[in-house]
Amino acid sequence: MTIIPITEAREHLADLGNRVSLCGERVIVERRGKNLFALVPVEDLELLERLEDKLDLDAIRAASDEPTKPWTEVKKALGL
């Protein structure tokens, strides 16, 4: 993985785009030593989104196994 300052990223954006899309390189762009964002191949992003969707679905399934509470009880607990 490559880490470059944002000033360099501005100057070489087209080249970075090619390195990421064609070579699968991952690039971290930083400012003053702090990571700002990453350039990653679309395939990496799609994989991350699928993983997030799976985690969300797992959380929904786990929550659906929990007992429910009447709305009046929830409102009372929240002071509504």
What is the pLDDT tens value at each position of the chain, 80 positions in all?
Answer: 999 999 999 999 999 999 999 999 999 999 999 999 999 999 999 999 999 999 999 999 888 888 888 999 999 999 99
Residue 69 lies in a domain: no
Residue 14 lies in a domain: yes
Residue 40 lies in a domain: yes
- Domain interval for residue 13: 2-64
pTM metric for this prediction:
0.70
Please report, for the domain that includes residue 59, its CATH number.
3.40.1620.10
Q: How far is the CA of 26 from the CAs of 30, 31, 32, in angstroms?
A: 13, 17, 20
d(Cα 43, Cα 49) in Å, to the nearest integer? 10
d(Cα 64, Cα 16) in Å, to the nearest integer? 45
Residues 37, 14 contacting (CB under 8 angstroms): no
Residue 70 lies in a domain: no
Question: Residue 17: which residues within 8 A CB-CB, separation 6 or more?
Answer: 39
